[in-house]
Structure 1
Amino acid sequence: MQSLAIIVPCHNEEENVPLFYQAVQQTFNKLTDYRPIFWYINDGSTDKTLSEIKKLQQVDQAVHFIDFSRSFGKEAGMYAGLQHAKADLYTIMDADLQDPPEMLVDMLHGIEEGYEMVGAARVDRTGEPALRSFFSNMFYKLMKKISQADIVPGARDFRVMTPKYVKAVLSLSEHNRFSKGIFGWVGFKSKYLPYKNVERKHGESSWSFYSLFKYSLDGIIDFSDAPLAFVSWLGIVSCILSALALIFIVMRALLFHNSVAGWPSMVSIFLMIGGLQLFAMGVLGRYIGKIYLEVKDRPIYIINETK
């Protein structure tokens, strides 16, 4: 019988922790050739999430947990779970049951067929705000064009992975982690199973629109130098336009003997060039900030308690 490590990052999920455990156990009634090993990662929850996890541990020795000293984010939780879990296969799932446990059956069949990774990809976003869905779709389309990583539209962190695949993911020990990009970058024989969006059972998502937008920017910067190329071309175009504007002003002064008129256009050009410079500096600053965080080499997470 093969073991499947189920890594579950949790942040304020006290109501969902026992429900998730029960739903997964029901699925494993159909998977007689596999046994689950639960790894709950408590990411600085301020409710009774850790207490609910410990209750499960008292009745099931297959339940383990890692309690962070504070909230380090879902990316750190996934990385910690993959580092500490030891099993024949690995999966990452959200505690809010938006990742349907019944999909594990088809995912494991895919692994048996020879795939190193079988993931889940949402084909719709029913129940999400229209604005969030629009920007999410635009993000995936943009990343598909500018990134070296194979990021599938609608791909979730929910996936089943072999030890070879997990070892490759853990070898990328960068601090600025964007796992969707890392999963696509490492390669290997992979496939995604489509499914319709499932709304969370209890509580509210800790992902606000701003946090998702910031996360998207991190993904673009971590896996593409396209913004740097963009500002470079923007600088070239602005220089050409400025040169043409200068020629126009000089020719007008020579032909019409009017060197005073036109100062509003000059001010506009100065403001435009200044704005472009600040924009370019902002893009460069984001990349330099990422370098700064990497060279400090701080730990990705700090553990308060584990069992």
Structure 2
Amino acid sequence: MFSLVIPVYKNEANVPRLLAALVALAPTLPEALEVVFVVDGSPDQSHALLARALPDLPFAAQLLAHSRNFGSFAAIRSGLQAARGERFGVMAADLQEPPELMAAFDQALLRDEADVVIGTRRSRADGAVSQWSSRLFWALYRRWVAAEMPEGGVDVFGCNRAFRDQLLALEESRSSLIALIFWLGFRRQLVAYDRQARQEGVSAWTLRKKIDYMLDSVFAFTDAPIRALTHLGVCGCGLALLVGLAVLVARLTGQIEVPGYTATMLAVLFFGSLNLLGLGIVGTYAWRAYENTKARPLAIVARRQANGAAAASARESAGPQS
């Protein structure tokens, strides 16, 4: 069975079109479809509409409701935990990602070509400002944080059970689910698609949520800001030494006549740079402590295989089973 997880928040207007698309998708899959709707504290009638439609859907379906709005990543986690299939897909309820993409994910997973299949945007029908800001963020993210991240970022993915279990084992409250997908590794396959324009309603992806997502995606996966601060402090100390020598020479040769100017300049330059260096060093220790509190595994076994002799030895060491 292929389980499709759909987080729902302020999607009342497009619920009928979503259900029609899912009904059309089900027969195209090689095995049974299960859909897990997760209503993430939506203030509209999304839950009521889905609850009324649930008994008549021609495929297995679950409807979960969060007690309040926890965010789309939390909704995805809840859906993956409840899903009962062997293969899983995640897509948004606004249908900006074509449902046919899920069929492509399922085919790749069924053929065991990959453990996780990721949709990459070939084009997107969004505003110019949104497209420009997205390209800038992901370009910087690929340069400084995750080089394997696709150029346009990731909105949808599919995975097998082994990958799903490892992803759910990473219980981090302030993190990025998408970045964790790349941190986990495993065999990956990319599927390109064209992102559609939103037809109903207004996106709930506000500027505040985008900023929170940006901060979580950066600070949970790299110490680049701390390293930049340390490098800036080292360079600043070197520059302060050179400028300080120049100021001292100017004072000794009589080019600076203002009383106290030399001492003030030397103190500001040296201790300012030393302060940056100290913050970088303290931040490095803080980052290492933070890394330990995340409790991510030191290594992950993606696949395990043994020959007949090893399997027989394992059974003997386990002893008789009751």
Q: Distance in 2 between matches of 1:271 and 1:207?
A: 43
> Partner residue of 2:19?
21
Rounded to whole Å, the distance in 2 between the matches of 1:279 and 1:125 is 41
**Cross-structure match for 1:186:** 184
Moved more, 152-161 or 213-222: 152-161
What's the counterpart of residue 215 of structure 1?
213
Asked whether the equivalents of residues 8 and 94 of structure 1 are also in contact (C-alpha less than 8 Å), the reply is: yes
Task: Find the counterpart in structure 2 of residue 48 from structure 1.
Answer: 45
Change (3 A) 1:27 1:275: farther
Query: Against the structure 1 CA distance between its residues 263 and 195, is the aligned structure 2 distance closer, same or farther, given a 3 Å change threshold?
Result: farther
Q: Deviations over 1:38-91 (max 9, x none)?
A: 111111111111101101223237221211111111111111111111112111
- Output one character per residue of 1:264-304: Cα deviation in whole Å (capped at 9) or x when no partner: 978995997699689969x88x969978x979xxxxxxxxx
Q: What amino acid sits opposite 1:74 in the alignment?
A: S
Which structure is richer in relative contact order (CA contacts within 8 A, separation 6 or more)? 1
CA distance in 1, matches of 2:167, 2:278: 36
What is the alpha-carbon distance in structure 2 between the residues aligned to residue 294 and residue 189 of structure 1? 24
| Residue 183 to residue 120, structure 1, CA distance change in 2 (3 Å) | same
- Cα–Cα, structure 1 residues 48 and 134, in superposed 2: closer, same or farther, change >3 Å? same
The percent identity for this pair of structures is 23
Deviations 1:109-153 (A, max 9, x none): 2223322122211022332332x3223222222222333573222
Structure 2 partner of 1:248: 246
Q: Tell me which residue corresponds to 1:72.
A: 70
Among 18, 32, 53, which residue is 1:35 paired with?
32
Alpha-carbon distance in 2 for matches of 1:289, 1:54? 45
1:242 and 1:136 map into 2 onto residues whose CA distance is: 38
Quote the offset at 1:96 in angstroms.
Answer: 0.1
Which is further off, 66-75 or 145-154? 145-154
- C-alpha deviation, 1:220, in angstroms: 1.2
Gaps of 5+ in 2: 296-322
Name segments (4+ residues, structure 1) moved above 3 Å.
261-281, 286-291
> Could you tell me whether the CA contact under 8 Å between 1:149 and 1:185 is conserved in 2?
no
Matching residue's letter, 2:62: H
Structure 2 residue 47 is matched with structure 1 residue 58: no
List runs of 5+ in structure 1 lacking aligned partners: 296-307
Partner Cα separation in structure 1 for residue 35 and residue 201 of structure 2: 21
Indicate if the aligned counterparts of 1:150 and 1:185 stay in contact, CA closer than 8 A: no
CA RMSD of aligned residues (A): 3.3
Residue 145 (structure 2) aligns with: 147
Distance 1:171 1:115 in 2: 20
Contact 2:227 2:280 in 1 (8 A): no
> Within 5 Å, which residues of 2 pair with 1:78-117?
78-113=76-111, 114-117=113-116
Question: TM-score, normalization: structure 1?
Answer: 0.82
With over 3 angstroms needed to count, the CA separation of the structure-2 counterparts of 1:17 and 1:277, relative to structure 1, is farther
Amino acid at match of 1:5: S
Q: Distance in 1 between matches of 2:235 and 2:102?
A: 51
Q: Is the 8 A contact 1:175 1:294 kept in 2?
A: no
Hey, what's the Cα distance between the residues in 2 that align with 1:50 and 1:145? 41
Partners in 1 of 2:77 and 2:203 — Cα distance?
20
Distance 1:4 1:210 in 2: 34
**Contact in 2 for aligned 1:13/1:203 (Cα 8 Å):** yes
Contact 2:120 2:153 in 1 (8 A): yes
* Residue matched to 1:118: 117
Secondary structure of 2:195's counterpart equals coil
Provide the rounded CA distance (Å) in 1 between the counterparts of 2:230 and 2:19.
51
CA gap of 1:34–1:155, structure 2 versus 1, over 3 A, is: farther
Residue 302 of structure 1 is matched in structure 2 by: none
